[in-house]
Every structure is written in C-alpha cells, then in structure tokens.
Amino acid sequence: MAVYQATTSAPVNIACIKYWGKRDTTLILPTNSSLSVTLSQDHLRSTTTSRADPAFTETKLWLNGKEEDIKSGGRLERCLKELKKMRKERIEDKEPNAPKLSEWNIHVASYNNFPTAAGLASSASGFAALTSSIAALYGLNTFPSSSSAKPSIASPSELSLVARLGSGSACRSLFGGFVAWEAGSLPSGTDSLAVEVAPQSHWPTMHALICVVNDAKKGTSSTSGMQRTVDTSALLQHRIKHVVPQRMEAIIKAIKEKDFDSFAKITMADSNQFHAVALDTAPPIFYMNDVSRSIISIIEELNRVSLEKTGHLLAAYTFDAGPNAVIYTEEKNVKQIIEIIVRYFPQAESNPFPDPFKLFGGKQSAAVPLPEGFNENVAKVWEVGSVKGLIHTSIGDGPRGLLWLSI
Amino acid sequence: MAVYQATTSAPVNIACIKYWGKRDTTLILPTNSSLSVTLSQDHLRSTTTSRADPAFTETKLWLNGKEEDIKSGGRLERCLKELKKMRKERIEDKEPNAPKLSEWNIHVASYNNFPTAAGLASSASGFAALTSSIAALYGLNTFPSSSSAKPSIASPSELSLVARLGSGSACRSLFGGFVAWEAGSLPSGTDSLAVEVAPQSHWPTMHALICVVNDAKKGTSSTSGMQRTVDTSALLQHRIKHVVPQRMEAIIKAIKEKDFDSFAKITMADSNQFHAVALDTAPPIFYMNDVSRSIISIIEELNRVSLEKTGHLLAAYTFDAGPNAVIYTEEKNVKQIIEIIVRYFPQAESNPFPDPFKLFGGKQSAAVPLPEGFNENVAKVWEVGSVKGLIHTSIGDGPRGLLWLSI
C-alpha cells in the first residue's frame, strides 16, 4: 500500500505595517497593504503533517493533538479546495499516471511549539504550515533546503493566496525575511498576495524580543474587532487611503537600505495608529494594557537617550491584537534591552530566561545600572509575573519541508 | 481710604467634544471647536478675590494660599492687560470721576474647593474665576443674581476671550449650561470665543458622576501633549477638518432636542477619538489606564443592556487628559450607576461617598444585583482605592458674583 504524506513547518510573522479591516470577509481581502518580519522557526513554529489515503472515509484535522470540527464551507475547506484544484489541473490532468490525490480525503495534524497561553497569534503560522504541508503532499512546492532540482509548480506567492483564505496574515508566513501583503484591488482577490521585500539574508542581524504580558481579560477577537472598526471608526478610512500607502513605500525603502531608524519610527507609529483606530471604534477596542504601556515608555526613553548620544534609535516596539510587545532591534542591542526589561518586570525564579543566543553566558541577567541620562521613573517596577516570559528570536526563513513520504 | 475688591466663583466644565491642538500657542487659538457641560458650583468651584489699591507696589497672585510668581508676558499678565484696557476704554475714559483702577496694581487670591489630587483640571475654573473677579472689580460685569439693573459692560462672550488667553478651556466656564467654544478663523483670535448653546434650565436633569481614579504616574501635560499631536499625528488633521464640524452640529441638535441617546453616542465617540489621536502621537500619549478602561467596559455593557431593554442608552463616559471618568446621565439613573461602579471599585470605609443628593438616604450603597442580562465579567473587581472617590454633581450655572466692596 502506498503512503503519501508530507510534513512542513511554517514561521510566525509580526507586522510592522498592520492589517486591520477587510473589504471582503469571505475571501479575506484587506482594506490596506501590510508588511511583516518573519521570525525564526528555530524558536517559534507550527509543524503540520498531511496524509492522503483512498481509504480515509473523511477529511480530519487535529490541532495540538485535539481533533477539530471541520466546518462545511469554512476556512479549512476553502484552502483545501484551492489546493485540490491546483493538484488536479497542474499535475493529475497532465500526468495520467499521477495518483488522484485530489480525490482522496486527507488527515492533517498540526502542532505549535509555543503554548497558546503565550498569546501569540497561531493562525498565521498554522494556516501557512497547513498550506505548505498539503502543497508538498500534492507535489506543488519544493523548498530551498530540498535536494530536488525541480522548480516549484506553485510559487510561494501563489500559495500565499491559499493561506490567505484561511487567515489573512497567514499569507505573509509563506516567505522568510521581510514580506509585504499587497492588498490588491480585484474583487476575485487574485492580486491580494504576499511578496518578498527582502530575504532573511539581507538583514540577518534583525532580532526580536517578545515580552509575553500577563492578561487578565480576553480581548475582542481580531476577526470581529476589525470589522467593528471598519463599520464605526471615523479615522480608519483616512488611515487606509492616506497614511498606509506612503508608510508602505517608506518602510520598504528603509528595509532595502537597512536604515534601522526609519524602520523603527514607522513600525512604532503604525503600531500606535492601529491601536488608535481600534480605540476610535464604537464600542472602543483595547488590546494594550498598563504593562504594555510601561514597555512603550521604557523603549521610548531608551530611544530618547540613544538618539541624544549616538543620533540613532535603539529599538522598535509593536503590538498586535493583544498586550504582548514585540521589540525589534539589532542583535548587538538585545542584551541591554533584556537587562532593562527585567529590571522593570522581574522574572520568576521558576521561569528563567532560556537565553537561546547565550547572551548571558549561562547566568541569569543581573541588575545592571540604567544607561546614563535614562529617567528611571518612566515606569514603575512591576510585580513578578507582569511580564511572564521573554522570547528572544531573530528574523527567519520561510516554510521548511521536513519529511516527504511517497512510497 | 477706599476699598475696591470683588469676589466671584466660577465652575468646572467637562468637554463632550474635545479641544486638542492649538493653531496659535500664544493667543491660545484652537484647531477645532469644542463643546462642554458646565458643572455645578455647589460642588466644584474656584473662588477668586481681587483687590486694587494705589498703595500696592506690585501685582501679586496667591493660589490656594501660596504666592505664585507672575511671569512677565505670561498668561496672567495677558489676561490682566486686556481687562485693564476694557476698564480704561469703557469706563475711565468716559467717566472722568471713575477711579483709575486700571493704573493700580492688584492682589488676587484664588482657591479651589477640590483638591489638586482629585486630578480635575483647575485651570479652566481658575482662569474663569480670575477673569470674572477682575471684571467685577473693574465694574465690567454684572451677574444674573445681582440686584443691579445695569446690563454688563462686557458680555460673558467678551470675557471668554480674556479667559481663553489664560487657559483655552477656561473660556467655556464663563457660561452655565451647555457651552460651545467656537474655534474662529481670524488670526487675531477675536472670533474664538464661548457662546451658550443652552442654559442650565434647559436640561436640569443632566447629572454627572466623576470617578476619581488613582494614578501612579503623572501623564504628559495637556499643553505640551496637544502640540506634539499637532506636530506628529497623521490622523489629527482629518479629525479637525472632517469629523469635529459634523459632530458639533449633531451634538448641538441633540442638546436642543434633549436627545440623550445622540448626546451620549457623540460624547463617548469623541472622548475615544481624542485619546486615539493622543495615541497616534510620537511618542504616544496615554491618559487612560486599566481602571479607566474598566469603567468604559462597564458603561458600555450597561448601555448594551439598556438599549436591548428600553431602546435607549443610560450613560455617557468622557475622559480628559487624565484617567478620571466623568459619566453624564439623567438624574434618575445616577443611583444605579453608583451602585454598579462601587461593586467593581469598592470604596474605602474611611472615605464614604458624601451623597450630596441624598440618593441613599444616609446609608452607604449596599451590594445590589446587577441588571438582568449584564455580563459581570466585563471587568474584574478592583482593589479598594482604585477609584479613590466619587463626586456626584449636576449641570450648573456660570460665574457667580459673591461680594463687591467699593467703599
């Protein structure tokens, strides 16, 4: 009996220019273009295995070991339908001997290596892994790391169209490095896809520190929140038409020139503007809390001091639809930023910082003096656990092919 | 020896359409019109006594009993200069026997009956009281309560031009009831003044509950904050040009028709939009904290339930440049709102609610059931002191003349 199975992993991405608002809620077409940095799968990833078998009586999905209902006409079905169509038209219709995988049911199992409690959006990496795994199963894509000399039958941008049907921001996880999701203008959505702005290798010293913030209260889901903003915000249309287009242009230029100052300024401004339009919604939507705001104050103060001393910014914060901060900075600055963050947000002894880049030589970060001129009163020292964990990672690559079985 | 002295008091006002941004920082000319409700001086007021004497060797000012430096060319001097000019041109030049008060130094003493720690902006009531007190000293104004049959020589709108030079929002405290500050367009600022939209008597059942929120951190001053927004926000100009003008028109209509639902919707939307443009500033400005946000969630939930049951909203929150909430509601709803607020924000036993309107018949508010259908998880129950006090007041009148001495 033949076995057809593929395992891939896909990365998390964190937007610098935020996606907030759909112009088509079924096809998941956004009101504006967005741009993200792909984070390394060495630290954060979704891993998905897909298997096709004529003996499967139905298509099934497990998330983190738990079987999920597959809603008829739902997001998974829409992705699967597109992939089956590609398999049929591009392979089975052309190679009469190719097995008719598109006609078989499949089983899909997906795992995130980060806990849901981390508050990181898993739908982006999840749908990107699902798309690339089924595409690999169907022979539609090859991977940079693969030994296959064949070019992919479906490009990452084409697969991003499929992932977008699952979760908008998932389309950006089909590439490594810096990725733009072009809003497009066609009602069909065929021009609303992800493109690579610059690969991981262009700016490998770009690192990220995620501050996982304790959250007492579940916020508004981004799916319902963004449409409430579309319906009620008096400022959103101005953002869409007049602010985002020039920010997209400016940040792409900054990335190409590795101009961290411009990159940081735009990233922080756009995070704040996204939360501003969320607040300009009726009823208002809040994702940041007082801890998030203290992190902003600390990074702004660090940048103020750095600008005064060196003429350059040190770091950029950005917040998605939750209280967690993602801090982008050059690799050489990560240690100092961790030291300052843990000064204001003491970490539990039972939960030591894992230090994947060995910044602290096996020791925990000790109290160090603040930089000269730093106003220590920009934030209070919070109780242990207010920031319940730190994740240090770097810019990363796109989906990875891990295992194919076709035997 | 003759004594020339006048004492007046002036009210606090809380804006429904917010003033945020100056087009002229010296003349204090705003980027947009604004609208406020004047609160009752029975509960909150600034009281100012001015005295002119040819023997005074310099002009002096005491605030809450502490002498203040009078900055040359500063705000007080600008107000005083205008009032002296009015006195000279309208009285001394016409009545040769009138004492030349405009040539004498004056002593001014001002008191607020609410502690600075309450976090209520005292500059509005303070400069309104100062202006009306010196105007009374100079014989420029009479008061509704005065027995004088003479019409005022300077109208409240004219005096609002003077108060505006001291603190922008002070101009709105020259009237009771509902007050518009018309932005005007002249570079001289002579058309940037306050006008009465409706007097206190038009809607006397309009009440206000102020939740005084404990604030760990001093926020950005509104004077510097608003100019940072003017300089850096990509959304503010849209608000100024396209949002505020139609909101002003709509809220004036709502007030004239005593349409609480429209009044509440616009008031809440404009508070949120003001905080949105503050957040859309570089670096971002935060005035609300997690306690403020819990108050918003509670009022939004109360309104949701009320809308479902009665088709009408119950209350409107608004926040100025600080974390305190002001809740506008009809008199009949105040008791219920206090009961819900103290449920989520227990009050210290040492600091009982003073209950000026005798809503609770001498007893403290006891725990009462939430309204049917109210989702109690919209906020957590906070520790005692998170809301450190409640002030219940109503819509009020304009400046009051308390005592003239001209003997």
Q: Is A11 helix (H, G, I), strand (E, B) or coil?
A: strand
How far, in Å, are B173, B345, B349 from residue A218 at the CA level? 41, 20, 32
Measured between CA atoms, the residue of chain A closest to residue B282 is A269
Q: Taking CB atoms and an 8 Å limit, are B283 and A296 in contact across chains?
A: yes
Q: Considering only CB atoms, which chain B residues are within 8 Å of A244?
A: none
Q: How far apart are CA A35 and CA A135, in angstroms?
A: 24
β-bridge partners, B51: B5, B107
Q: How far apart are CA A183 and CA A195, in angstroms?
A: 11
Domain residues for the domain of B243 are: 206-394
Q: Are residues B276 and B299 in the same domain?
A: yes
Rounded (10°) CA dihedral A109, A112, A117, A119: -120
Q: How far apart are CA B153 and CA B150, in angstroms?
A: 8
| Number of neighbours of residue A383 by Cβ within 10 angstroms | 9
Q: Are residues B37 and B174 in the same domain?
A: yes
Nearest Cα to B379, choosing from B307, B264, B302, B278?
B302
Q: Taking CB atoms and an 8 Å limit, are B239 and A242 in contact across chains?
A: no
Per-residue model confidence (pLDDT) at position A365: 62
Q: Note whether A163 and A127 are within 8 A (CB).
A: yes
Per-residue model confidence (pLDDT) at position A142: 76
Q: Note whether B133 and B8 are within 8 A (CB).
A: yes
Encoded tokens for A158: 């084409």
Per-residue model confidence (pLDDT) at position B220: 84
Per-residue model confidence (pLDDT) at position A216: 66
Q: Taking CB atoms and an 8 Å limit, are B279 and A276 in contact across chains?
A: yes
Q: Is A268 helix (H, G, I), strand (E, B) or coil?
A: helix
Per-residue model confidence (pLDDT) at position A187: 97
Q: Are residues B298 and B360 in the same domain?
A: yes
B87–chain A Cβ distance below 8 A for any pair: no
B296–chain A Cβ distance below 8 A for any pair: yes
A250–chain B Cβ distance below 8 A for any pair: no
Per-residue model confidence (pLDDT) at position B363: 72
Q: Are residues A269 and A165 in the same domain?
A: no
* B238, B269, B286 member nearest A293 (Cβ): B286
Q: Taking CB atoms and an 8 Å limit, are A276 and B280 in contact across chains?
A: yes
Q: Are residues B185 and B143 in the same domain?
A: yes
Q: Are residues A170 and A243 in the same domain?
A: no
Per-residue pLDDT tens, chain B, 407 aa: give them: 689 999 999 999 999 999 999 999 999 999 999 999 999 999 999 999 999 999 999 999 999 999 999 999 899 999 999 999 999 999 999 999 999 999 999 999 999 998 776 667 789 999 999 999 999 999 998 776 555 556 789 999 999 999 999 999 999 999 999 999 999 999 999 999 999 999 999 999 999 999 999 876 667 888 999 999 999 999 999 999 999 999 999 999 999 999 999 999 999 999 999 999 999 999 999 999 999 999 999 999 999 999 999 999 999 999 999 999 999 999 999 999 999 999 999 999 888 888 999 999 877 666 688 999 999 999 999 999 999 999 999 999 999 999 888 77
ipTM, two decimals, is: 0.93
CA distance B320 to chain A (A): 15
Q: Taking CB atoms and an 8 Å limit, are B239 and A243 in contact across chains?
A: no
Alpha helices (H) in B311-396, listed in sequence order: 334-344
Per-residue model confidence (pLDDT) at position A352: 84
Q: Where on the phi/psi map is residue A136: left (φ > 0), alpha (ψ -120 to 50), or beta?
A: alpha
Q: Are residues B241 and B117 in the same domain?
A: no
B85–chain A Cβ distance below 8 A for any pair: no
Query: With b meaning 16 or more CB within 10 Å and e meaning fewer, what string describes A181-204?
Result: bbbbeeeebeebbbebbbbbeebe
Q: Are residues B99 and B218 in the same domain?
A: no
* A273, A280, A296 member nearest B272 (Cβ): A280
Per-residue model confidence (pLDDT) at position A11: 97
- What CATH number does the domain containing A182 carry? 3.30.230.10
* A234, A265, A300 member nearest B243 (Cβ): A234
Q: Taking CB atoms and an 8 Å limit, are B235 and A286 in contact across chains?
A: no
Q: Are residues B332 and B389 in the same domain?
A: yes
Burial class (CB in 10 A: 0-12, 13-18, 19+), B311: exposed
CA distance A287 to chain B (A): 11
A51–chain B Cβ distance below 8 A for any pair: no
Q: How far apart are CA A290 and CA B292, in angstroms?
A: 11
- What CATH number does the domain containing A294 carry? 3.30.70.890
Identify residue A284 by its one-letter amino acid code: P
The number of distinct structural domains making up chain B is 2
Q: Are residues A387 and A256 in the same domain?
A: yes
Q: Are residues A25 and A138 in the same domain?
A: yes
Q: Are residues B47 and B179 in the same domain?
A: yes
Which H/E stretch holds residue A206?
Answer: strand A206-213
Per-residue pLDDT tens, chain A, 407 aa: give them: 689 999 999 999 999 999 999 999 999 999 999 999 999 999 999 999 999 999 999 999 999 999 999 999 899 999 999 999 999 999 999 999 999 999 999 999 999 998 776 667 789 999 999 999 999 999 998 776 555 556 789 999 999 999 999 999 999 999 999 999 999 999 999 999 999 999 999 999 999 999 999 876 667 888 999 999 999 999 999 999 999 999 999 999 999 999 999 999 999 999 999 999 999 999 999 999 999 999 999 999 999 999 999 999 999 999 999 999 999 999 999 999 999 999 999 999 888 888 999 999 877 666 688 999 999 999 999 999 999 999 999 999 999 999 888 77
CA B188 from chain centre, in angstroms, equals 24
C-alpha atoms less than 13 angstroms from C-alpha of A372 in its C-beta half-sphere: 3
Per-residue model confidence (pLDDT) at position B144: 63
Number of CB pairs < 8 Å for A and B?
A: 82
Q: How far apart are CA A274 and CA A134, in angstroms?
A: 33
Per-residue model confidence (pLDDT) at position A368: 80
Per-residue model confidence (pLDDT) at position A349: 87
Q: How far apart are CA A48 and CA A7, in angstroms?
A: 5
Query: With b meaning 16 or more CB within 10 Å and e meaning fewer, what string describes A141-171?
Result: bbbeeeeeeeebbbebebbbbbbbbbbbbbb
* A265, A284, A293 member nearest B272 (Cβ): A284
